[in-house]
A = this chain, B = another copy of it.
Amino acid sequence: MLPGVLSATSPGRGKADECIGDNAMGAGNQQERLDPEWIAGFVDGEGCFHVALNRQPAMRTEWQVLPEFRVVQHRRDERLLKQLQSYFGCGSVTVNNGDRMEFRVRGLKNLTQVVAFFERHPLRTRKQHDFRSFARVIRLMMNGDHLTKTGLAHVARLSLAMNRKRNTSASRILRDCTPDTARTR
């Protein structure tokens, strides 16, 4: 499993949690501190809320649910990605691909904080639609619902609604897990 990846059996306890603290948001040099509305605008343009569904036959539901929040920029703006990391008090800044870097947040506790931020500072593009589905996935996962077939199917439906491109994993889950008559958590 990748570092920081949410396991369906150990939610919210990946490496991605390591930098979060109750007072972490807003940490860092005050002069460097980003305005929350600026962050909302920037994320409206450049951010991504994504829920990956990875086939893991060893897991109870056979699927790993992996939500993440990501902002990708050219490496010349790596400093800005680190300011975002400092603001949210969690996540990592690493190479995305070639000359592109990414600020990425995983882990349920961190993502709950990210969701709360974007509920206080709403997105204004249609990305808000994706965000709302993402927020529902995080809440389902906080309840452990993704560990049941019914809950997993719910996550898959939300994932399908978020991603405009074809999502074969979500379609497969819906085929296998709806209706949920055979197994419970």
A residues near B (Cβ < 8 Å) are 34-46, 73-74, 76-77, 80, 83, 121, 124-126
New contact pairs (4) apart from A35-B37, A35-B41, A45-B46, CB-CB < 8 Å = A37-B41, A46-B46, A74-B126, A83-B124
Q: Is the interface of A mostly helix, strand, loop or mixed?
A: helix
CA distance A38 to B37 in the complex (A): 5
Does the CB pair A125–B39 fall under 8 Å? no
Q: Which B residue sits closest to A121, measured CB to CB?
A: B38
Contact of A38 among B40, B74, B77, B80 (CB under 8 A): B40
Residues of B within 8 A of A73 (CB): 125
- Nearest chain B CB to A96 CB, angstrom units: 15
Residues of B within 8 A of A83 (CB): 124
- Nearest chain B CB to A86 CB, angstrom units: 13
CA distance A35 to B39 in the complex (A): 12
CA distance A64 to B75 in the complex (A): 34
CA distance A73 to B43 in the complex (A): 14
